[in-house]
Amino acid sequence: MKKVGLVYHPIYLKHDTGGFHPERKSRLEAILRQLKKDNIYSNMVLTEPKEASVEWISEIHDVSYINRVKLASSEGVSYLDTQDCPVNKMTYEAALLAAGAGLSAVDQIIQGEIDRAFCAVRPPGHHAERNYAMGFCFFNNIAITARYIQKKYKLNKIFILDWDVHHGNGTQHAFENDSNVFFASLHQDPRTCYPGTGYSEETGKGNGMGYTLNCPIPPNIDEEIYLETFMNKVIPAIIDFKPDFFLISAGFDAHIDDPLANLSLTEETFAKMTSHIVDLSNEYSNGRIVSILEGGYNLIALGNSVSAHIKVLMK
């Protein structure tokens, strides 16, 4: 059994979005409850992250924006930039620790303390743009982690797989000119789903042309078609790229029971994709995988899907 880290901090629960917001603290509570029920929690290496420094966050976000998040939180304004992004006095601290989770996981993997990691964080990150918040996200956790791997550990070829049902616009924009970070996204067709980006013709810019792969999926299709897209497009891209490190933007809102979109996956679908990534990581990147939570809003489906995902990471 592989040593899989669970990176989590109780501060995440104090980012209060209100009782009716889909991105609420009960999501993490449901995940932890299911991991304990399935006897997974006790077999993981539990880690509290350190806060990401402004230095590392500013690799992806403008310092002026970071200061805006801090000020909004300290002043207790109701939201930042969009009503999708509620703010309270603990939001900034939670966001620093969410951004730091991937960094802590990478350090542990590189130092040989764990083999892989799952970061149970909130607020999520993949919609956050360089200078504004959107889609429940403030700092782009996965993008900050990718840049950290590149700059601190000099591992240049990073593969980011985003299977959240919503396109990771912020992550794509962070790396669309970078040929050393391959961003691949499977998401519901942007004509039918937030945020309206992620068309197949979006393939990168400049030096990064060809290193962005968008796979828009029509709503309400069978999971077999989704998996065919994964096998026929994403897997060949990984094999061609031969990454040094895998990052997963692990949203579980493509589940058939999720209320915010219209795909038809099950927890078994996420387990199958994870299994392929594990095999390829063993071949190309010494098994190194950091998975960071994004969406997933049906609490039962979320708990079961994360549990299935981590079971495979442990193999």
One pLDDT digit (tens) per residue for the chain, 315 residues: 999 999 999 999 999 999 899 999 999 999 999 999 999 999 999 999 999 999 999 999 999 999 999 999 999 889 999 999 999 999 999 999 999 999 999 999 999 999 999 999 999 999 999 999 999 999 999 999 999 999 999 999 999 999 999 999 999 999 999 999 999 999 999 999 999 999 999 999 999 999 999 999 999 999 999 999 999 999 999 999 999 999 999 999 999 999 999 999 999 999 999 999 999 999 999 999 999 999 999 999 999 999 999 999 999
> CA-to-CA distance for 2 and 255, rounded, in angstroms?
26
Give me the number of domains the chain comprises. 1
Q: 127 an active-site residue?
A: yes
Structural domain span for residue 225: 4-313
Q: What is the pLDDT of residue 59?
A: 98
For residue 27, give the amino acid letter. R
> CA-to-CA distance for 182 and 118, rounded, in angstroms?
20
**Per-position DSSP letters for the chain, written without gaps between them:** ---EEEE--GGGGGS---TT-SS-THHHHHHHHHHHHTT-GGGSEEEPPPPPPHHHHTTTS-HHHHHHHHHHHHHT-SEESEEEEE--TTHHHHHHHHHHHHHHHHHHHHTTS-SEEEE--SS--TT--SS--BTTBSS-HHHHHHHHHHHHH----EEEEE-SSS--HHHHHHHTT-TTEEEEEEEE-TTSSTT----TT----GGGTT-EEEEEE-TT--HHHHHHHIIIIIHHHHHHH--SEEEEEE--TTBTT-TT----B-HHHHHHHHHHHHHHHHHHSTT-EEEEE-----HHHHHHHHHHHHHHHT-
pTM (whole model) above 0.95: yes
CATH assignment of the domain containing 105? 3.40.800.20
Closest residue by Cα to residue 186 from 224, 143, 234: 234
> CA-to-CA distance for 202 and 130, rounded, in angstroms?
18
Q: What is the pLDDT of residue 19?
A: 85
Catalytic option among 9, 15, 127, 173: 127
